[in-house]
Amino acid sequence: MNLNLQHWRVELDAEGVASAILDKAGETANSLSVAVMGELGKILDAFEKQPPKALIFRSGKEAGFIAGADIQEFTQLDTAEKGRALVERGWTLFNRLAAVNYPTLAIIRGHCLGGGLELALACRYLLAVDEPATKMGLPEVMLGIFPGWGGMLRLPQRVGPTAAMDMMLTGKTIDAKRAKRMGLADECVPPRVMDAAARQLVLSGQPRRALPVMQRLLNGPLKGVVASGARKQVAKKARPEHYPAPYAIIDIWAKHNGNALASPAIIDRIISSPTARNLVRVFFLQERLKGFGKASDFKAQRVHVIGAGVMGGDIAAWCALRGMTVTLQDQSLERMGPALQRASKLFARRLRDPLKARAAFDRLIPDVNGDGVAHADVVIEAIFENVAAKHALFKVIEPRMKPGAILASNTSSLKLEDLRIALKRPERLVGIHFFNPVAMMPLVEVVVAQGADDSVVQAACAFVRQIDKLPLPVRSEPGFLVNAVLAPYMLAAMRAVDEGISPETVDEAMLAFGMPMGPIELIDTVGLDIAMAAGQQLAGGAEAPRCLLARVQQGQLGKKSGQGFYRWAEGKAQKAAPGGVPPGLAARLAKPLIDRTEQLVADGVVADAELADAGVIFGTGFAPFTGGPLNFRQAR
């Protein structure tokens, strides 16, 4: 069929079954740009005149099915009309697809996100291909917007409103097997049979699985129950003034049957909100960080971690979770016990499959003698924060390492320039600075010492990407970026406590500002002794806050000792009611953090303001809806 298309290929087999293959020109992944959607319209026009026996959608890319709408186009929505037009275009087109009188099917292999899943939902059948890369989800909420191309209408119809709300309000993705179990996919098949299975299913005439009665009630007369439950859930995590989109999703589903066009005011409010603009910015900042991993084709298979403490143990577990073979070294097997226990919990929680968890555990090999050094592509040192100890260790391991392997230190506070004097090839030492807790924190600072070998730095960034973290190159200066900006912020918070403001009130001020955790609770979590040491190094000689000194002297070290600024029970800080927050408190506490971020950009510790915003968001959780500390200041 010749429709003169740039992005789609349409094929018709001898039996009249058509395939529409999306292979977006000039890109490695498919996204639904204006042009791609326009061409889909043409395909539907052609088939309206001459309907095929069936139509199968598939991807022409290795990477996956469809990554979503074209996010670059979101940045051009500068008027309310353009925002509405964008929603209208997808809503109408996918309604048209849903209404065709020939059977349709989408083969989902690899990622199928946002608009991609909305396209698949508009087909009669959805065939999921069971392979690790297959992931389905509606992550629009993470960009501060809503799935307005039929997702809010069709996902609840297909999987029931509770499961649909959970997916739309968290943005989380599900794999092929899970999609089949919850009724999102009609079939889940291995790649080798997908074509035959797709043909058979699309021609089967088989009715769609009907929703169970209870789910139909919840999607109809009992909508209000689901909506109020969902609002309560969302309220625990996001305030409407910071994150309006999840509330809009609930309203559009409950009051307008998933049709955003029925309430143009909501569209205007969401699309023109600073939150959406800033979250889209954060998305691109994240892409920029990912880009650092692309400058080298370094690929690690084996990792050796030395020091099985808080950090080393969790770094080793994380690398094993991401598929690497990891040897973990400490002074004795007993010292590794707690790390191995934590690893086992991590694998069970993240992999949810005992066989896969077992395989990950098998990849994590205790190695008291350090035999793994000779085979490792990356050696990460995470022993005590002590220069002499690190020197002694480097002297032993450097001669045993493979040529071309990376030697990295996880040090938080020592200068790489001081550490590397023990090495024969000092230019090859790099910092790979993880944050605690390793599994939760997306950022890893890649610390670049004076005169470091560029190729090693690039390889270190590639390794960080390989384990699914975001690399940020920073200069080897005290505190790098993240700890350097946190120190004056924590100091300001403790000075406020010294002034007589309660820890609860200080924390509430910053939670209301949009931080994921208050600064005082953060200090309790990090440990008061660690905060004290960091303060001494990073506070430029400022006197330690009285509230901190007193507690440290009494051995009240925070979460780990059960008592710090708060009493801790079952892993939770026991807080009293915060009381009223004095006006201006949040701004006063945030100011030193923002000032320091500006200073570090000026000093070249981080290359530019965008990267500083990215680092502070992904390294501290700084309110993402603000677009980062410097973006926030500029917007004031």
- Catalog residues that contact ligand NAI under the rule CB under 6 A: 306-312, 329-331, 335, 382-385, 389, 393, 410-413, 434, 436
Q: Is 131 a catalytic residue?
A: no
To ligand NAI, the closest distance from the beta carbon of 526 in angstroms equals 6
Comparison of 333 and 635: residue with beta carbon closer to ligand NAI: 333
- Active-site residue, from 18, 20, 69, 357: 69
Burial class from Cβ neighbours inside 10 Å (0-12, 13-18, 19+) for residue 257 reads middle
To ligand NAI, the closest distance from the beta carbon of 445 in angstroms equals 9
Q: Strands 125-129 and 111-113, how do they pair? A: unpaired
Judged by phi (left if over 0) then psi (alpha if -120 to 50, else beta), residue 160 lies in left
Cross-sheet strand order for the sheet of 135-137: 64-66, 111-113, 135-137
- Active-site residue, from 39, 118, 504, 508: 118
Comparison of 327 and 410: residue with beta carbon closer to ligand NAI: 410
Are 464 and 470 within 8 A, CB to CB?
Answer: yes
Comparison of 18 and 616: residue with beta carbon closer to ligand NAI: 616
Beta strands per DSSP E along 321-410:
325-329, 364-366, 378-381, 406-409
Comparison of 56 and 470: residue with beta carbon closer to ligand NAI: 470
| C-alpha gyration radius of the chain | 27
In whole angstroms, give the CA distance from residue 347 to residue 63: 26
Question: How many CA atoms does the CB half-sphere of 469 hold within 13 Å?
Answer: 29
In whole angstroms, give the CA distance from residue 480 to residue 443: 13
To ligand NAI, the closest distance from the beta carbon of 558 in angstroms equals 12
Q: Report the greatest alpha carbon distance in the chain.
A: 83
To ligand NAI, the closest distance from the beta carbon of 315 in angstroms equals 9
To ligand NAI, the closest distance from the beta carbon of 26 in angstroms equals 41
Are 531 and 488 within 8 A, CB to CB?
Answer: no
To ligand NAI, the closest distance from the beta carbon of 493 in angstroms equals 18
To ligand NAI, the closest distance from the beta carbon of 311 in angstroms equals 3
Comparison of 311 and 506: residue with beta carbon closer to ligand NAI: 311
Tokens of 230: 């969902």
Are 589 and 624 within 8 A, CB to CB?
Answer: no
Question: How many CA atoms does the CB half-sphere of 488 hold within 13 Å?
Answer: 17
Identify residue 453 by its one-letter amino acid code: D
Q: Is 69 a catalytic residue?
A: yes
Comparison of 279 and 382: residue with beta carbon closer to ligand NAI: 382
Q: Is 405 a catalytic residue?
A: no
Are 336 and 330 within 8 A, CB to CB?
Answer: yes
- Active-site residue, from 67, 116, 140, 313: 140
Comparison of 139 and 312: residue with beta carbon closer to ligand NAI: 312
Name the closest residue to ligand NAI (Cβ): 309
Q: Is 287 a catalytic residue?
A: no
Positive or negative torsion for Cα 468, 473, 479, 485: negative
| Catalytic residue IDs | 69, 115, 118, 140
